[in-house]
Structure 1
Amino acid sequence: MSQNLAIQDTSAFVPTQVLRVYGMRRSGNHAVIDWMMRNAPGGAGLFMNNCKPNRDPFKTARGVATYQDGRELDLDTEADKLRAAGQTPFTLVSYEDTMPAAKRSPLFDSPETCVIIYRSFLHWAASLLRKIQGNKGYGPLERMRVMMQAMRTYGEMLGRVQDTDVVPVCYDHWKEDEGYRRTALDRLDLPGRDLSLGAVQRYGGGSSFQGKKTTATDLATAERAAQMAQDLEYQLVLWTAARDLDFMVRLAEVFPEDAQRLSGLLNTAKAEVKLP
């Protein structure tokens, strides 16, 4: 966010309700966030994207969006968007590739809910790796470095989504089940005015596999693991995860089918190469 975007008096900014939303890249964050914003009270609110933890979101947000009547306003500048939101909007502040601290101070003097958006490990890893492979500046070693760092945070996330101080929203269930979306809105204390999946968001360049599709219903998100199954780098990522006992224990608690598949992969590999 550029330096001229700070509102005149941030101390006077008192949102009616705050969602502090965390999630790994390629976890469907922006699809779910757009849906939350469309279901904001009155369909109006302010979204502050990809802020830096423990920093002022007005100074670190990588873009803002203002919603009215359940849709994002088409305004010329981010300063215009802040002015249109006013001093007391419903506010959603997002963070990527980091998890909430167990003890944290509220962002504003307003009711606040902490949310974690998460996705099946097999599909998330496939989507992130495919996205990284599209970066021509990254070779195999750099791609693995990025993946291993992201997997450490993903492992932390597996523990946090089971804690009582957060509201977890699983993208896989959200994408496929309208009833899940309705129940999630209840847990977030948001009105169920719009249960649709909405349009594919512009953030992050769209889908890693299908580009900039216009509607979320067109995205075959449940096929990502199968689409990457023969990719050697993807197989290496899965093999590494399967060898990490702590990671596997956490994964089995949240995504038991993923853990079962990784265990089978590890056992097959041991038999084929006669590992000790």
Structure 2
Amino acid sequence: MKTSFITLLFFSFSVMLLAQENMINDTLTRTATITYKIKANTVEFSAVTPPLNQIAGAPKAFYNHFWEFGDGDYSKEEKPLKKYKKEGEYEVKYWATNMYDTGKPPTTRPEKLKIDTVEGTYNEEASMTEDLTLIRNREPMPSEDMVIVMSYKNSKTYATNGKLLLYFNEAKYKADNFELVDSRTYHNEKNSPVDGFVFSKEKNEDTRFYASSESSIQYIKAIVSDTTEREDLELTKAEAETTYKNTKALEFSNMKPNEERHVFFTFKTTP
């Protein structure tokens, strides 16, 4: 087993403040309810969402959907069909985000379900075309939560270990815009100290990725090293630590060739 690269993920958000006269606060609490039908280890999910309140003159209102299935998988479909690999109890989470609607996003209670029977062959669905991606489930307003999914893939031909670094909250801003309230891992990723990483001075033909999202978390830039020019990982890490105030570090191990994994982070946006 070989040791993989350290991946650096940086993200920041531009905040636009909108003001108008006679601002009306939405005090109505709306809820969405998870519903599902189980057949062996296949589950058909849907959600009962509250009516939308159309913004006058805007495009037709609709919901964006985000499901976290409790086994390290997720979906953006409205009514996903999920097949579980193993028997057991899973906690499913759901977020509905209202678009072109005058109210707040509905809240949803997690739902626990139990898989008692596994039928048929389970095939892992390889969906990643990149070694590393970041997505978010919504554009949060102040005091709302947001889920960040860090997905990573082993494109090597051998099993590998490695480290992941997530940087957030730019140091140039006095206030923290995001508070990390929960991390959910499904492949035995372990919390790791930020310091104490070992840097290889050896140059080789392996591909090393140094990723950063700039104005948007969905824009990820990868710098590929070669034998003549390579990014200085130690310098990159040092620069990140002066740019950002907060860091989340994880170690992963025994990642099989072509395997894909997802880590889920819930952030609360501050008032």
The bucket for the TM-score relative to the shorter chain is under 0.3
Instruction: Provide TM-score, normalisation by structure 1.
Output: 0.23
Instruction: Provide TM-score, normalisation by structure 2.
Output: 0.23
Structure (1 or 2) with the larger CA radius of gyration: 2
Which structure is richer in relative contact order (CA contacts within 8 A, separation 6 or more)? Answer: 2
Determine which structure has the larger strand proportion and give its number: 2
Determine which structure has the larger helix proportion and give its number: 1
